[in-house]
A and B are shown apart, each in its own frame.
Chain A
Amino acid sequence: MRAIGAIIAALLLTIAQAGEIAHDQRRSGYSFMAPDTKAMQDDDTSNPGMLWVLDGEALWTKRIGAADKACADCHGDAAASMKGVAARYPAFDKALGRPVDLEQRINLCRTEHQQAPPLDYEGHDLLALTALIAHQSRGMPIAPADDPQLEPFLAEGRALFMQRQGQLNLACTNCHDDNWDKHLAGSAITQGQPTGYPMYRLEWQTLGSLQRRLRGCMTGIRAQAFSYGAPELVELELYLRSRAAGMPVETPAVRP
């Protein structure tokens, strides 16, 4: 009898929308890492993610497309013009009527203003440009725009975070709200705060985007992962950013 009551109580807890991490208890994935890995992130000349930032600097000034324009031609020096930009993404795009993430914003610029073909997700060039732009917000607090037009998408993102899915029937919240700081096999379960994307993941031995990480998690729980660029992934990112609001950007982070 008591066992059934306990099981019902546990089920109710996970269905309920409680369980969100208290504001002052939020921790970056950085705090879960071993000292050696932290040291890798701390030094810009030993952080492999900085290689992509360097490449991004080169791409920023490269003239491309039918319009023969470089990012710099409109935006000038990235260090000045891009400061704080990544901290408030995903942002609402009026023409599309929906939020776009940084990668989509870059591709919109390429297709509309440079008349160049869009870049593939996880391709080197898109990662380099995203890393460069996000790096200009390093140290600044994540500050999602307080835009009422984003609200329905934010709600959708939140629902996705709470939704059980896949063969393992797990929701993001089950691990990242309810069981962070425990371990899954040998790995620490973090809170899933997107403070350092695109990030250098030791497992990947390369830089990767938040979408890659989310897709990896979904595959891990044996769910069909959303495709790159899917609106669901942008909505999830929107929710994750609001959940992490105020936490400093760390791009490019290093994670296990």
Chain B
Amino acid sequence: MSGNRQSTRRIFLKAASSAAVTGTVYRVMLQPLHATPATLNSAIRNLVGEAPLRTGRVKLDIPPLVENGNTVPMTVSVTSPMTVDDYVRSIHVFNEKNPQPHIGNFHLGPAAGRAQVSTRIRLADSQKVVAVAQMSDGSFWSASVDVVVTLAACTEEL
């Protein structure tokens, strides 16, 4: 298998230039994050700020072994009554090893009825995918999934 194919998959971001990587112990979190690269942590922190990040209520549906890393079906859903008083404001999906940490942000509201979004994503390598939901009361909930991504057996001349 050639190692030189023209593909985003092998080009990793060398350094997160703006991430402040010192002191990334989240004192206010109720559950510690798994060990992740700094950019992923920093992207999540940009969203969550000082607020606690709870695990639960969010379900991230990705095949544990993908058919092809270029197009991976993903469904993220959040348990919520979706009423005017208690709904999911937004869902943010992050990744660990792509060139940049964001996958997509999805903005909902009480009219959604069901807090569930499906799309197809690119995953550069076997990695962790994290979904963070922000509720109407300002609280943050998250879930993460480890996905195995293999490269296709044969490369193609472009």
Interface positions of A (Cβ within 8 A of B): 33-34, 36-37, 39-40, 184-187, 202-205, 215-217, 219-221, 225, 256
> Does B68 contact A36, Cβ atoms closer than 8 Å?
no
Which 9 A-B pairs give the minimum distances between C-beta atoms? A220-B154, A186-B150, A202-B68, A202-B71, A184-B153, A185-B153, A216-B156, A256-B67, A187-B153
Please, how many angstroms separate the alpha-carbon atoms of A113 and B37 in the complex?
60
Most-contacted residue by chain A among B67, B150, B151 (CB, 10 A): B67
Q: Does B152 contact A (CB under 8 A)?
A: yes
> Does B151 contact A186, Cβ atoms closer than 8 Å?
yes
Please, how many angstroms separate the alpha-carbon atoms of A202 and B153 in the complex?
13
Q: Does B85 contact A (CB under 8 A)?
A: no
> Does B154 contact A219, Cβ atoms closer than 8 Å?
yes
> Does A40 contact B73, Cβ atoms closer than 8 Å?
yes
Give A206 Cβ to nearest chain B Cβ, in Å. Answer: 10
Chain B residues contacting A256 (CB-CB under 8 Å) are 67-68, 152
Q: Does B84 contact A (CB under 8 A)?
A: no
> Does B151 contact A205, Cβ atoms closer than 8 Å?
no
> Does A205 contact B157, Cβ atoms closer than 8 Å?
no
> Does B157 contact A186, Cβ atoms closer than 8 Å?
no
Name A185's contact: one of B1, B63, B67, B70 (CB within 8 Å).
Answer: B1
Residue of A nearest to B61 (CB): A36
Q: Does B6 contact A (CB under 8 A)?
A: no
Give B67 Cβ to nearest chain A Cβ, in Å. Answer: 4
Please, how many angstroms separate the alpha-carbon atoms of A29 and B73 in the complex?
19
> Does B150 contact A34, Cβ atoms closer than 8 Å?
no
> Does B67 contact A33, Cβ atoms closer than 8 Å?
yes
Q: List 5 A-B contacts (CB under 8 A).
A: A185-B151, A186-B151, A187-B150, A205-B71, A216-B154
Chain B residues contacting A205 (CB-CB under 8 Å) are 70-71
Residue of A nearest to B75 (CB): A36
Give B124 Cβ to nearest chain A Cβ, in Å. Answer: 14
Give B90 Cβ to nearest chain A Cβ, in Å. Answer: 24
> Does B73 contact A203, Cβ atoms closer than 8 Å?
no
Residue of A nearest to B157 (CB): A219
> Does A34 contact B155, Cβ atoms closer than 8 Å?
no
> Does A202 contact B67, Cβ atoms closer than 8 Å?
yes
Residue of B nearest to A186 (CB): B150
Known: A202-B70, A202-B71, A219-B157. A34 touches B63 (CB 8 A): yes
Chain B residues contacting A187 (CB-CB under 8 Å) are 150, 152-153
Chain A residues contacting B68 (CB-CB under 8 Å) are 202-203, 256
Known: A203-B68, A205-B70, A256-B68. A36 touches B63 (CB 8 A): yes
Chain A residues contacting B153 (CB-CB under 8 Å) are 184-187, 220
Please, how many angstroms separate the alpha-carbon atoms of A36 and B73 in the complex?
7
Type the 1/0 row for B116-158, where 1 means its CB is closer than 8 Å to any CB of A: 0000000000000000000000000000000000111111110
Chain A residues contacting B156 (CB-CB under 8 Å) are 203-204, 215-216, 219-220
Chain A residues contacting B1 (CB-CB under 8 Å) are 185
Chain B residues contacting A202 (CB-CB under 8 Å) are 67-68, 70-71
Chain A residues contacting B65 (CB-CB under 8 Å) are 186
> Does B154 contact A37, Cβ atoms closer than 8 Å?
no
Please, how many angstroms separate the alpha-carbon atoms of A235 and B154 in the complex?
23
Type the 1/0 row for B1-14, where 1 means its CB is closer than 8 Å to any CB of A: 10000000000000
